A and B are shown apart, each in its own frame.
Chain A
Amino acid sequence: MDKISIFLALINLIVATGPMLSILVIHISNPIEVIVPSEVQGLSETLVSFGETLQTIELVNVTYDPDSRTITLLFSVISGLDIDLRIDSITADIVCATHGYTLGHASLMSPVTLVPHINSYLTVQSHWTYEAEQHIKGQHNGESTINVNLANIAVNVDGVVIQTSQPVTLTNIPIGSLEG
C-alpha cells in the first residue's frame, strides 16, 4: 500500500470517527446528552407554557345589543410563550346550559396575534336566532341573565386546529330586553 492510499484511508477514518469521538468526549460526564440534549428540558417548558397560556383565557366582558340580537364576548389571554401566536379563528355553538337549546353560533371577529407575556383580547360574537329569542322569552321569562355552554369549540392557532367536544360553561350572560 503506497503513501497516498494510506493518507486517504486515514482521512476516511479521521473524518468518519473524529467528530463523533469529540462529541462523546465533550459529553463524557453525561453521555445521554449525546442523544437527548439538555435543551429538551426547554422543550417541555415550552409545552408547559402553552398549557398555561390556555389556562389564562378569561371572560372579561359580555355585552348584548338587542337591536342586532348580537352578543359580544370579550376574552383576555396572556401568552406564556416567547413567540407570537396567531389565533386565526375560534368557532363554537352557544347552547342554553339549562335546556340544551342551541341559541346561536359564535366566531372570532378578527384574527388576533398573541404577543408574548402581554394581555391580548379576543372578541367573539354571536347572533341570537329568532328561535333563540323565543326560547329565552318562553323558558327564561323574568330572568336577566342565563348560563350558556360553548360547545363544539374549534380554535385555529397558526394553522393548527384544536377541537373539543367538552363544553365550557359561561355564567350570568345578560339577556337584557329579550326577556318577555
Chain B
Amino acid sequence: MRAINWLGLIGGVASIALVVLSPYIPWWRLTVGEDLFVVNTSPFNFNFNFLGSSFTIPVILALNLSSILMLLISGMIMIVYSLNPSKTYSKRLLYFAYKKPMYSVILFLTGIIILTLTLNLMFNFNIPIHGDSQVSISNVAQATTIILPVKTSFYWPLWFAILTAIMCIAARIYHKNIK
C-alpha cells in the first residue's frame, strides 16, 4: 500500500484554506468607537478604515503578497510531499514546507505585540492585545478631552493557523516513521 503522510496532507490543505479564508476574516481586529476606526489584519491582508476612508500601505501589501505566495506554494509542496513521502526528494520538500505556517504565526503575533507595545510606550495608548480599554487624548489648550473606547480581538483563523502549524510540525515528526 502506498505510504501517505496524512498529517502533512491535512497541514498542506489547511495552509491553502488559510490563505483563501484570510481576506474575508481577519486574524486580529482593532476597533475604535463603533467602527469609527477599524484595522483588520492577518499576514495575508491588511485593511485600514478611518471614518469611511480606507487605504492600503504598499509596503504592507508587498509583505502580504509574499506571505500569500509563500504559504500557497508551501501548502502545495506539502501536499506533493505527503502523497509521496518515501521518494528520495521528499525530505527536501518537507523541510521547505513544514516551517512556513509556524513562521506566519510567530511573525504575525510578534508584529501585533510590537505594535501594541510601541503605541503604549510612545503615545501612552493602553491598547490590549485582546480585550477592551479606553484611550484618553487631552488637548489642554482647547480644554478638550477625547475618550476613545478601543476593542481588540483575535479571530478563529488565528487558531486555525496555529493548528495548521502544529499539523505541519507533526508531519515532520511523523516523517521519521515512514519507510
Contacts and interface: CB of A to CB of B under 8 A. Distances in A.
A33 B53 contact: no
B144 A158 contact: no
B131 to A, nearest CB: 16
A14 to B, nearest CB: 8
B62 A46 contact: no
A4 B90 CA distance: 10
A20 B62 contact: yes
A46 B52 contact: yes
B55 interface: yes
Contacts of B50: 43, 46
Contacts of A45: 53
A18 B65 CA distance: 9
Interface stretch (A66-74, A99-107, A134-142, A160-168): A160-168
A60 interface: no
A19 B70 CA distance: 11
Given A15-B73, A39-B55, A22 B62 contact: yes
B40 to A, nearest CB: 16
Interface string A32-55: 011111011011011001100000
Given A86-B34, A160-B148, A81 B51 contact: yes
A37 B57 contact: yes
Contacts of A82: 52-53
Interface residues of B, number: 36
A37 B58 CA distance: 7
B139 to A, nearest CB: 9
Interface residues of A, number: 42
A158 B93 contact: no
A160 B143 contact: no
Contacts of A33: 58
A26 B65 CA distance: 15
A160 B59 CA distance: 30
B84 to A, nearest CB: 12
Contacts of B58: 23, 26-27, 33-35, 37
Contact of A15 (B53, B69, B146, B149): B69
A16 B52 CA distance: 32
Interface string A160-178: 1111111000000000000
A39 B61 CA distance: 14
Nearest to B35: A158
B33 A18 contact: no
A23 B62 CA distance: 7
Interface string B33-69: 1111000000000000011111111110111011001
Interface of A: 2, 4-5, 8, 11-12, 15-16, 18-20, 22-23, 26-27, 33-37, 39-40, 42-43, 45-46, 49-50, 81-83, 86, 157-166
10 contacts: A12-B96, A15-B69, A15-B73, A19-B61, A20-B62, A43-B53, A46-B50, A158-B34, A159-B34, A160-B146
A-B pairs, top 8 by smallest CB distance, nearest first, are A39-B55, A83-B52, A19-B65, A159-B33, A160-B33, A161-B147, A19-B62, A159-B34
